[in-house]
Amino acid sequence: MSPNAAFTTVSGLWHSIEIERSSLDNKSSWEPIAATQSDSLIFRSDGVVLNANGTPRCCAPATMIINGALLDVKPLTALPSNPQCELLNCITCPTWEVSLSDDQLILNTCNSPRVKYVR
C-alpha cells in the first residue's frame, strides 16, 4: 500500500468520543468524553494533521504508524501558520500510532492515554 493510500484511509474529520483510563490494578477501560471536551482532528491525504478550523496541529508527528505501516508525513501543499504553536513547548512525539477499523480510529501519542475517534 502506498503512503498516500494509507493516509487516504484515515483522511477526513474525526471527533473524539472516548479516552482510555488505566486503574491502579493495570486494567484499562474506555470512558466517554463529554461533548464540550471533545476534540476534532482532520487528517489530510498526505498525513498532515489539522485542527477542526484548518490550522496545522501543534506538535504534530513526523511519522505515523497506521495499522502497522510506518509512514512519513510529508506536506504536499504549504501549511498556514498557527500562532498558537509558538506558545507551546512541544515535547517531541515523533510518531503517532493509529489503529483504524471501519469508521473508528484509536490514536496513541507517546505518553498520553489512547483516544477513540469517530467520523
Q: What is the pLDDT of residues 40-92, one digit of tens each?
A: 999 999 999 999 999 999 999 999 999 999 999 999 998 988 999 988 888 87
Going by pLDDT thresholds of 50, 70 and 90, the confidence category of residue 8 is: confident
Give the closest residue to 82 by CA, choosing from 48, 51, 44, 38: 51
pTM of the model: 0.88
What's the number of domains the chain is made of? 1
The range of the structural domain enclosing residue 104 comes to 3-118
